[in-house]
Chain A
Amino acid sequence: MNQNSIAVDVENVVKRYDSVTALHGVSMDIREGEFFTLLGPSGCGKTTLLRCIAGFEDVTEGAIRLRGEDIAPLPPHRRPVNTVFQQYALFPHMTVLENVSFGLRRRGWIEMDAEARAREVLELVQLKDFAQRRPGQLSGGQQQRVALARALAPNPEVLLLDEPLSALDLKLRQAVRVELKQIQRETGIAFVFVTHDQEEALTMSDRIAVMSEGYVQQIGTPRDIYEAPLNRFVADFIGETNLLDVEVAAVSEGMAEVFLPGGLALRCPAAASAVAGRGHLSVRPERISIGPKSAETLPATVTDHVYLGTDIHLHARLVDGEPILVRMQNSESSGIPERGSELGLRFEAGAARLLVD
Chain B
Amino acid sequence: MIKPLDLRRFTGFRALTILCLVVLYAPLIIVAIYSFNDSTSITRWGGFSLKWYVDVFTGPDAPKFRNAAINSFTIAIGAATCATIIATAAAVAMNRAGRFRGKVASLALINLPLMVPEIVTAVASLIFFITIGFKTGLMTIFIAHLVFCIPFAYLPISARMQSVPDVYEQAAMDLYATPWEAFRLILLPLMIPGILSGFLLAFIISLDDFLITNFVKGAGIETLPTAIFGSVKQGIKPNIMAISTLLLGVSVVFVTLSWFIGRAGQSKN
Enumerate chain A interface residues (CB-CB to B < 8 A).
54-56, 75-78, 81-83, 85, 87, 89-93, 102-103, 106-107, 136, 150-151, 154
Contact = CB atoms under 8 A, between A and B. Distances in A.
Contacts of B172: 91, 102
Contact of A91 (B173, B181, B186, B268): B186
Q: Chain B, interface size: which category?
A: 20 to 34
Contact of A77 (B177, B190, B268): B177
A75 B171 contact: no
B235 interface: no
Interface in B151-174: 165, 167-168, 170-174
Nearest to A160: B174
B190 A56 contact: no
A91 B171 contact: yes
Given A85-B171, A92-B269, 10 more contacts: A75-B179, A77-B174, A77-B177, A77-B179, A82-B175, A85-B167, A87-B165, A89-B168, A136-B268, A150-B175
Contact of B170 (A56, A90, A92, A150): A56
Contacts of B186: 91
A106 B181 contact: yes
Interface in B179-202: 179, 181-182, 186, 189-190
Given A92-B190, A92-B268, A93-B189, A103 B176 contact: yes
A77 B173 contact: yes
B170 A103 contact: no
Given A106-B181, A136-B268, A89 B167 contact: yes
B252 to A, nearest CB: 30
A103 B190 CA distance: 18
Contacts of B178: 77
Nearest to B192: A93
Contacts, number: 60
8 contacts: A76-B174, A78-B176, A89-B170, A91-B168, A91-B171, A102-B172, A106-B175, A151-B174
Contact of B171 (A83, A93, A136): A83
B175 A154 contact: yes
A78 B172 CA distance: 12
A102 B184 CA distance: 13
Contacts of B268: 92, 136
Contacts of A102: 172, 175, 177
B193 to A, nearest CB: 11
A75 B175 CA distance: 12
Contacts of B171: 83, 85, 89-91
Given A92-B268, A92-B269, A136-B268, A83 B174 contact: yes
Interface string B116-130: 000000000000000
A102 B174 CA distance: 10
Contacts of B269: 92
A56 B179 CA distance: 12
Contacts of A89: 165, 167-168, 170-171
A158 to B, nearest CB: 12
A309 to B, nearest CB: 39
A92 B190 CA distance: 8
Which 5 residue pairs spanning A and B have beta carbons closest together?
Answer: A103-B175, A106-B176, A89-B171, A89-B167, A76-B173
A77 B179 CA distance: 8
Contacts of A103: 175-176
A82 B174 contact: yes
A92 B191 CA distance: 12
A106 B177 contact: yes
B42 to A, nearest CB: 52
Contacts of B175: 77, 82, 102-103, 106, 150-151, 154
Nearest to A162: B167
Contacts of A150: 175
A37 B186 CA distance: 30
Nearest to B186: A91
A102 B173 CA distance: 10
Nearest to B269: A92
A93 B168 CA distance: 11
Given A92-B190, A93-B190, A154 B176 contact: yes
Contacts of A151: 174-175
A107 B174 CA distance: 11
A154 B174 CA distance: 11
A20 B172 CA distance: 29
A54 B186 CA distance: 19
Contacts of A77: 173-179, 182
Contacts of B190: 92-93
A77 B172 CA distance: 8
Q: Quick one: which of B167, B176, B181, B189 has the most chain A CB within 10 A?
A: B176
A243 B232 CA distance: 90
Contacts of A76: 170, 173-174
